[in-house]
Amino acid sequence: MADTPLTAPAVKPANPNFSSGPCSKRPGWTLDVLADALVGRSHRAKPAKARIQRALDLTRELLQVPADYRIGIVPASDTGAVEMFLWSALGARGVDMLTWESFGAGWVTDVQKQLKLDDVRVLEAPYGQLPDLTKVDFTRDVVFTWNGTTSGVRVPNANWIPADRQGLTICDATSAAFAQNLDFAKLDVVTFSWQKALGGEAAHGVLILSPRAVERLETYKPDRPLPKIFRMTKGGKLIEGIFKGETINTVSMLCIEDAVDAMDWGMEIGGLKAMQARANANYKVLADWVARTPWVDFLAHKEDERSNTSVCLVITDPAVKALDEEAQATFAKAIVSRLDKEGVAYDIGAYRDAPSGLRIWAGSTIEASDLEKLTPWLDWAFAQEKATLKAAA
């Protein structure tokens, strides 16, 4: 493509919600799906507990979680789910922290500066890359994000994790769940939130524990105070009710109903494989566009490490790359703002800590047809800003 168009495309995406969290609702969603939510009822009432259990059962079935793993709904989104386990279980042995984007870096801060653990190794890579996974020591606990939402970089598989590991693997999977293959046999703790691949509401997290993770909770008592919402044991035993519909704190029954609706939709379209296939097809639309577009590229360097949900892009046009970092960021934000004003794409700017560029959600609740309609608009917005840049030179 020698030149990008200065004339606006004729057709806009039917759904302009390409935010990376909270993400787009499923196709066909309306407020009517919440009409039967058990609002005004105690979450401890029998029908409310049954509805919460329905959400847990659907999670197990749709994600194909092993029968001996516990699943609980916890406070404070994915962040709360990760923090609960870090504060409750780390310190029993050394820990390797893997970080290659903003949220992984946040877990490093928590472990080093808040928990103040002594034996911590940090394996770090810059945005766009993974750390050297061969350097991970599995005699230690390992904390990592499966899919870096703010970098668009994911681990390609779980082959680097041994089955006979001594430590626990603690995986923040919030933007990978329902879109990528999570090998639960290699994962002891998995966390996510409904607001990502399910397009659900924020505020609640999901915590999945292997038998080994439960054993750690029941045998290790950290020498630090734990807030009530972090406590998962009593008298040295797991509080099983947390994983049977008796949540630690009050949940929103509207959010429960919305999550159930999203997972029912996932089952109706063919389950996990169908949801993964939709995300892969969405990613391909963007990948094909990047391949034929000279002004843009993936932030992730290696193809097999590129996320199929949170697709992070950088502007590679020479005239833009010649600008200083602040001006490059301003250029990218101008594209984002222009598309927002046109009602074409909302919230597609790069994460605040990431390199400047674009971030487009491509999970299964997005339609490939909308991404196909978006790409000409991306070219148009770039052309408009490039023309403005030239005029100002």
Mean pLDDT across the stretch 336-354?
97
Distance, C-alpha 214 to centroid of its chain? 24
**Residue-level pLDDT at 72:** 98
Within a domain: 6:
no
pLDDT digits (tens, 9 = 90+) for 40-69: 999 999 999 999 999 999 999 999 999 999
Residue 12 lies in a domain: no
> 277 and 249 in one domain?
no
Q: Say yes or no: 146 and 49 in one domain.
A: yes
Q: Is the pLDDT of residue 1 over 90?
A: no
CB–CB of 158/170 below 8 Å?
A: no
Mean pLDDT taken over the chain: 97
User: Quick check: is 2 in a domain?
Assistant: no
- What is the tens place of the pLDDT at every residue in 134-172? 999 999 999 999 999 999 999 999 999 999 999 999 999
One domain, residues 166 and 211:
yes
| % residues pLDDT > 90 (the chain) | 98
User: What's the average model confidence in pLDDT over 296-318?
Assistant: 98
Closest CA to 343 of 24, 2, 14: 14
Upstream peptide bond of 22 is cis (omega within 30 degrees of 0) = yes
Q: Are residues 55 and 202 in the same domain?
A: yes
Specify whether the CB–CB gap between 179 and 363 falls below 8 A.
yes
Identify whether residues 177 and 277 lie together within a single domain: no
Query: Which domain-ending residue is among 248, 267, 286?
Result: 267
pTM: 0.97
Would you say residue 21 lies in a domain? no
User: Is residue 3 in a domain?
Assistant: no
Instruction: Give the residues across from 97 on adjacent strands.
Output: 122, 143
Q: Are residues 219 and 288 in the same domain?
A: no
Number of domains observed in the structure of the chain: 2
Is 245 a domain residue?
yes
At residue 15, does pLDDT exceed 50? yes
Q: Tell me: do 290 and 372 sit in the same domain.
A: yes
DSSP E strand boundaries for the chain: 70-75, 95-99, 120-124, 141-145, 147-148, 153-154, 169-172, 189-193, 204-209, 233-234, 237-238, 296-298, 310-315, 358-361
The domain that holds 280 is classified in CATH as 3.90.1150.10
182-220 pLDDT tens trace: 999 999 999 999 999 999 999 999 999 999 999 999 999
Q: Out of 267, 294, 317, pick the residue that ends a domain.
A: 267
pLDDT of residue 213: 98
Is position 18 within any domain?
no
Q: Are residues 238 and 288 in the same domain?
A: no
Instruction: Return the pLDDT at 323.
Output: 97
Q: Is residue 230 part of a domain?
A: yes
Res 355: pLDDT? 97
| Whether 261 and 177 share a structural domain | yes
| CATH number (domain holding residue 179) | 3.40.640.10
Q: Which of 267, 291, 309 is the last residue of a domain?
A: 267
Q: Are residues 54 and 196 in the same domain?
A: yes
**For position 2, what pLDDT does the model report?**
45
Domain of residue 245 covers: 31-267
State whether residue 239 is helix, strand or coil: coil
Q: What is the reported pLDDT for 6?
A: 83
Same domain (yes/no): 101, 200: yes
For residues 315 and 295, is the Cβ–Cβ distance under 8 A?
yes
Q: In angstroms, what CA-CA distances link 345 with 20, 49, 79, 244, 254?
A: 12, 38, 27, 40, 27
What CA–CA distance (Å, rounded) separates 252 from 243?
17
